Structure formats: structure tokens, C-alpha cells
Structure 1
Amino acid sequence: MGGKVKIWNPVEIAEQAKNDYASQIFPSLLSIDPSLSLPQMTPLVINLCKDMFKTWSSLGDSCFKVEKISGGITNLLLKVSVKQGDSIDDIITVRLYGPNTEHIIDRFRELQAIKYITAAGFGAEWLGIFGNGIVQSFINAHTLAPSDMREPKLVAKIAKQLQKFHGVEIPGSKEPQLWNDIWKFFEKASVLEFGDSEKQKTYKTVSFKEVHDEIYELQVLSDRLKSPVIFSHNDLLSGNIMINHEEDKLYFIDYEYASYNYRGYDIGNHFAEYAGFECDYSLYPNMNEQYHFFRHYLQPDRPQEVSENDLKTLYVEVNTYALASHLFWSLWGLIQAKMSPIDFDYLGYFFLRYNEYKRQKEKLVSMALSYLLERNE
């Protein structure tokens, strides 16, 4: 973004990981086209597994079973079961990165984060890396639907887990990345050209001067809130939360956008995702629903002891940063509309997110200014 894209070398990254990671990371130079059908992809995935894990290299293809777990709007997740006797001996997940996603995702930042997130006991173990993806251990759980995130018991679990996640320490710079990333997205999004005349016509209706001014004004305002900087997931939508009800375990997965960031942004972005990809913002949590989350986030063991002042502070912080979430993902949508071959209306997504930003802006900015005035800040 705004510069050269780093060269992705699986062998080099795996060698580097050996020096500062508990487990060996197995590399392969092979790549797999994520646009292929599952039957077309299966022999390629099997070949990848044999190339990466030498103990499987002599196994017959019939020992492998490849299944599609999920296909998001940036990548594809596959489950590979390996049978070496009468039972399944190993299960892994293969994540295929979507084409051109290096234009919106810093893969090196992601891999740096995975090492330490895993060491802290979150998510799946990183096992291998290949030409256009990574291999991880299999998590026996299912992903949530947007409606699940509103269920009070799950809300409490997510809040408690996020509080723990925000305590993860990642070596290196602790600078929050939100505004750096938004400005990079803006630079890229504002100079696109579409071969499709209808898309180009729609794109030309976007006033980038207006968007520029909105970003600048919101950055100035939100900085005044002094939201704590913590290590953030930054993409806590329902598809990135998994639960195993039998074991009562909740998992956060997919750290493609993870970085140090503002506490208010990570929670505000999560609330915005209640609306799902359809952007039904009638599902955005009301104050009472948010306070339920905040209590379990701020004091997981004694949620009813959280003060009214702390609840209000976090309410203002989170909802102001939810505006930043709309700006971030609207610009992301424009870039994806140009770069991604996935069949999704990314251009329409820009307008859904940006229009919601404009609908909520006056009310939320007024609330933040009143809050700051009360505290003479």
C-alpha cells in the first residue's frame, strides 16, 4: 500500500520463524488457485500436504480427505483429514489467501502476530506456509452467525475473551495502526480505474475530497478520547469467532488485520459486525446491550461492580470509533471492488458502510463533544 509489496517467500519466512517460534514451520513453494472447484483443488491440496509434511509423502491419495470449511470474502479455509490406519490420525486446516489480498493485508504483520497469539494460548497453531497461504492445526468448533453474537451468554463470553486477547504482548512497535491503515487505503482507493464502464461510473460518484475531510475530522476527534492502545483483532465478525459448546470453549481466529490499535476501535468494529455483510444496522447493539458487553469486558469476574462512569466512558469511546470502522471498511470495499475476483458486490458494500457512517456521524460526534466538554478535555 503506497509502496512496493513485499516478496512472499515461504522458505525464507519458515527459516526466520524457526529462530523465534516454539514449533518448526514447514515450507512449500507450491500455490493453489482458490477459484478452482473442490474436486479440482483436492489433488493439489494433497500434493501440497505431501510436499510440506514429509511423513505423509509416501501415503496414497486415498488417505487424504479434503473438505471446504468456509469461504469468506478474502480467503478460503479447507479441512484436511489424514488416515494412516483404521482411524483419522491427523487433521489440519489449509488457508488459501484470496488473489491480490496483499494489496489490503500486510501478510508479514499477520504472521508476526500469529506466532505470539498462539504462544499466548489463542487460536490454532501455525504449522506451515506455502506460496499463497498457511497451514494451521484444526479447531474442533463451529463459527458463529451474526445473530449468535447478540445472545447474552455469548456476549459475555466474547467480552471476557476479548479482554484476555487485549492483554497479548507482541514485540516491536506499539503504535496504533488504525489511521495509518485508513490513510493508506484512502490513497489507493482514490486513484482506481475500472474496466467495467458501469463500475467506473458508480465509482466516479464518490467525492474523495469529502471522504478525506471526514477521515481527518474523525481522527482529530477520536484522538481526544485517549482510548487505550492494546493489541487488537480488528476484524471480530461472526465468521472469525468459533465455539465448541461441548467443551465450552470460544476461539478467535483469522488475524489478517490484527495489530496494536485503539480499544474503542476493536470493540466498535465488533459491534458494527452485528449487522453482517448485508449491513442491517437495525441489529447494531443498543446501549443496554453494549453495557452488558462492557461489564464483562471491564470486570470479567465482577461485572455488576463496573461503575456508571466507566460504562459511559467506554460507550462514547466505542461508538465514536465505530464511525472509524465504517470508514475503514468502506475504503476496503473500493479496493476490493478493483482487486478481488470473488463474486461479491464490494462497490455496493462501500456505499452501505459509508452511508451508515454519514447517518450516524452527527449524533455520535455530538455525543463525543458533549462528553469531552463535561470533562474539560
Structure 2
Amino acid sequence: MGATDKIWNPVQVAEQARNDYASEIFPSRLSIDPSLSLSQMTPLVINLCKDMFKAWSKLDDSCFHIEKISGGITNLLLKVSVKQGNSIDDIITIRLYGPNTEFIIDRHRELQAIKYITAAGFGATWLGIFGNGMVQSFINAYTLTPSDMRDPKLAAKIAKQLRRFHHVEIPGSKEPQLWNDIRKFFEKACNLKFDDTEKQKTYEAISFTELHDEIYKLQLLCDRLKSPVIFAHNDLLSGNIMINHEEDKLYFIDYEYASYNYRGFDIGNHFAEYAGFDCDFSLYPNRNEQFHFFRHYLQPERPQEVPQKDLEALYIEANTYALASHLFWALWGLIQAKMSPIDFDYLGYFFKRYKEYKRQKDQVESLAIS
């Protein structure tokens, strides 16, 4: 980080993070089952809004319009429009946590950080929490696709925004969490039992001794690189990046995995997400594409002046930590295969990520130790 970069200290502006009606928002103990249909969910969402927002408590139910924005492989996002008079007065988003996500997501860590992240100007304004989710302001933007991230102009914007994000200051411990989180995932992943016979058979074919050894060796390799510790997003896939072209604004959203971590991991993990959930790793950015990203990350104002040696060093750093990304999300997939009711082949996802890890590790290791 350059000496002239501004260090964000959101503590001073945290009280201004909410909008005008935020002082009349209350936490709620209510929960909403994300597996319900939208018609079943609607009266529950309206009740939740009235419980949390004092200004809306006496509105007629017809003033509320609820629609699904997205349903990923972890959470469900709802858009709530509130009409008073002849116009839409307020729009908020309600994020419903996926069932059993507490097994993989540290909600305390997320909530501790999110107010400071949004106060620093990232993503939606945090408004409050309820039994199994949170409420935020609505972002008028569209979500990127994996192919969007390959666009050179967007890649440059993402790189510049990521540099800014890495300057956010969050109170508390600044210990990098990567290896702590991987070890926690490993402990949970190696003690699963599936009711489905075929899944159990597939699971039993996994060598956790081998996985344990790979984690140990990779940590030693990564430690050689002395990657700077910054506040990292840790899940910068296309679905967590939004853009409003008219206003020329790029947003990072969803901070469920955000923590202090290694710079190389946040960048390498982002590159791995070019492959999408289908894990088409032929889309992983090549050397030239990565260098383009690095130039705008390292020197946003003068990208063409970045020394070649800095590009080469960050290339090794990011691609080595991309291996850690494969192990992290592979283990995540195993836990989700057992815990999540969402219809997604999490078990298959483990094998795709672990296969790519093994395919890349020898080449990356030779770069890291050269």
C-alpha cells in the first residue's frame, strides 16, 4: 500500500451509516423460512418489516411489494418496496441466511465488520438484523456474471475497488484467518456421515490424511511469500459484485467470509471465481489478464508505470494463494453437501476444486520456490 493512500477509519462515521429512518429500526426475533414459496413468505416478510420499522408498523399490507432478487447457493435476497401515497417511498433488501449456514459462517465476525465496511462506502447500508437474516438498503445495480469479470474495463474497476477495500480498518484482532478457517473446515469435513448410501460411499473414498498433508505443505509454501495482511472480502465471485453503469458505480456485497487475511488469497480467490460454479477453469485469467489486473490494483492512477518485478511477484503470490482457495472451498463444499438443503451438487464441487488444486500445485510450487 502506498504512503499516500487514504486509510479508512469508519469508526468516526459509523453513526451516519444508516439512512434517515434508521433511528427507528429495531432488531427482531422473527425468522422466515427461506424454503417457502414467495406467496407463503410475503405475509411473514410484511410482518417482519412492521416489527422492525416503527414508521411502517401501521401501514396496510397492500403498501408492501415483495419480490425475489436472487437465490444463490447460500442465501436468498428479497426486495421490499414500500408505497405510501402515489409513489414508492422506500426500498430495502432482506437477506435470508441459508439453513445451517452457521456451520460454515461466523455470523458474529460478519456482523462485527459489516457496519464498518458499509460506513466506508462499500455495498449497501446496513440497517438491522432479525432471527435469520439482515436488512440493508437497496442497491440499484445489476449483478455481474463470470464472463463480465473478464472484461478489461470491468477488471480494472474491480482491481481499483479491491485496493480501496483492502484499506478498510476494522477494530479488533488483525490476525489473518485463512489457515484457522481451513483447519476448522477440515475438522468438520472429516467427521461427516451421509444418509444417502451413494453419497456416503463417495465421501469415504476421500483421503483426509492426504488432504491434511496438502494443507500443511501449502501453508509452508504460502508463508514463504510474506503476503501482506489486509482486510479481505474472501468471496469475491461475480455474484458479489454489482455495477450501475449510468452512475459508473461498482459495489462489493456480501461480507459473510470477510476478515483480515492475506492479500494473495483475496486476489487469487477472485481469479479462481472466473470459473463460476460450473468450475470451468479454462476461464481462469492468463498471465496478461492478471498483469492488467495487478497494474490497476498496485497503481490505479499510473497503471502502466508498475515495475515488471512487482507484477511478477504478485503473480506468484496470487496464484500460490489460489491453491489455498481451492482447498478452502473444496472443504466448504463437503460441509455444505451434508448441511445444506439447497439443490446443488456440493459433493461434486469438492472434487472439482480439489482436482484443480492437484492439477495446478506442481507448476505453482516451482514458481514460488524459484
When the two structures are superposed, what TM-score results if normalisation uses the length of structure 1?
0.92
Contact 1:228 1:262 in 2 (8 A): yes
Structure 1 position 119, deviation (Å): 1.4
Amino acid at match of 1:218: L
Structure 2: gaps spanning 5 or more residues: 1-10
Amino acid at match of 2:47: N
Q: Does 1:68 align with 2:60?
A: no
Structure 1 position 123, deviation (Å): 1.0
For residue 34 of structure 1, what is the aligned residue in structure 2?
34
Contact 1:174 1:260 in 2 (8 A): yes
Contact 2:115 2:126 in 1 (8 A): yes
State how far apart, in whole Å, the 2-side matches of 1:263 and 1:317 are: 8
State how far apart, in whole Å, the 2-side matches of 1:94 and 1:369 are: 47
- Percent sequence identity is 82
Structure 1 position 21, deviation (Å): 4.6
Structure 1 position 302, deviation (Å): 0.1
Contact 2:26 2:51 in 1 (8 A): no
For residue 175 of structure 1, what is the aligned residue in structure 2?
175
Amino acid at match of 2:170: I
| Aligned ranges 1:280-319 → 2 under 5 Å | 280-319=280-319
Worse-matched range after superposition: 113-122 or 163-172: 113-122
Contact 2:236 2:273 in 1 (8 A): yes
Contact 1:82 1:88 in 2 (8 A): yes
Contact 1:26 1:127 in 2 (8 A): no
Q: Does 1:249 align with 2:246?
A: no
For residue 148 of structure 1, what is the aligned residue in structure 2?
148
Amino acid at match of 2:342: I
Displaced runs of 4 or more, over 3 A: 20-25
Q: Does 1:359 align with 2:359?
A: yes
Instruction: Deviation per CA, 1:58-89: give whole Å up to 9, x if none.
Output: 11111100010011111000000000010000
State how far apart, in whole Å, the 2-side matches of 1:21 and 1:110 are: 18
SS at match of 1:26: coil
State how far apart, in whole Å, the 2-side matches of 1:129 and 1:335 are: 25
Amino acid at match of 1:171: P
SS at match of 2:123: coil
Contact 1:113 1:170 in 2 (8 A): yes
SS at match of 2:70: strand
Instruction: Deviation per CA, 1:202-238: give whole Å up to 9, x if none.
Output: 0001000000000000001100100000000000000
Instruction: Deviation per CA, 1:160-180: give whole Å up to 9, x if none.
Output: 000000000001111000000
SS at match of 2:40: helix
Amino acid at match of 2:348: G
SS at match of 1:193: coil
State how far apart, in whole Å, the 2-side matches of 1:189 and 1:366 are: 29
Structure 1 position 140, deviation (Å): 0.5
State how far apart, in whole Å, the 2-side matches of 1:307 and 1:59 are: 60
Structure 1 position 26, deviation (Å): 2.3
Amino acid at match of 1:367: L
State how far apart, in whole Å, the 1-side matches of 2:97 and 2:26 are: 17
Amino acid at match of 1:329: W
Amino acid at match of 1:312: E
Structure 1: gaps spanning 5 or more residues: 1-16, 371-377
For residue 278 of structure 1, what is the aligned residue in structure 2?
278
Amino acid at match of 1:339: M
State how far apart, in whole Å, the 1-side matches of 2:120 and 2:205 are: 46
SS at match of 1:146: coil
Contact 1:149 1:238 in 2 (8 A): yes
State how far apart, in whole Å, the 2-side matches of 1:51 and 1:172 are: 32
For residue 347 of structure 2, what is the aligned residue in structure 1?
347
State how far apart, in whole Å, the 1-side matches of 2:15 and 2:39 are: 35
State how far apart, in whole Å, the 2-side matches of 1:124 and 1:219 are: 34
State how far apart, in whole Å, the 1-side matches of 2:228 and 2:307 are: 18
State how far apart, in whole Å, the 1-side matches of 2:127 and 2:167 are: 24
For residue 6 of structure 2, what is the aligned residue in structure 1?
none
| Aligned ranges 1:114-263 → 2 under 5 Å | 114-263=114-263
State how far apart, in whole Å, the 2-side matches of 1:170 and 1:131 are: 25
Instruction: Deviation per CA, 1:111-146: give whole Å up to 9, x if none.
Output: 111011011111111111100000000011010000
State how far apart, in whole Å, the 2-side matches of 1:365 and 1:66 are: 50
State how far apart, in whole Å, the 2-side matches of 1:70 and 1:146 are: 16
For residue 267 of structure 1, what is the aligned residue in structure 2?
267
Count of residues in Structure 1 that have an aligned counterpart in Structure 2: 353
Q: What RMSD over aligned residues (CA atoms) do the two structures have, in Å?
A: 1.2
SS at match of 2:310: helix
Instruction: Deviation per CA, 1:29-83: give whole Å up to 9, x if none.
Output: 1000000011111111011001110111111111100010011111000000000
Contact 1:74 1:97 in 2 (8 A): yes
SS at match of 1:173: coil
State how far apart, in whole Å, the 2-side matches of 1:340 and 1:258 are: 21
Worse-matched range after superposition: 55-64 or 258-267: 55-64
State how far apart, in whole Å, the 2-side matches of 1:200 and 1:362 are: 30
State how far apart, in whole Å, the 1-side matches of 2:323 and 2:256 are: 21
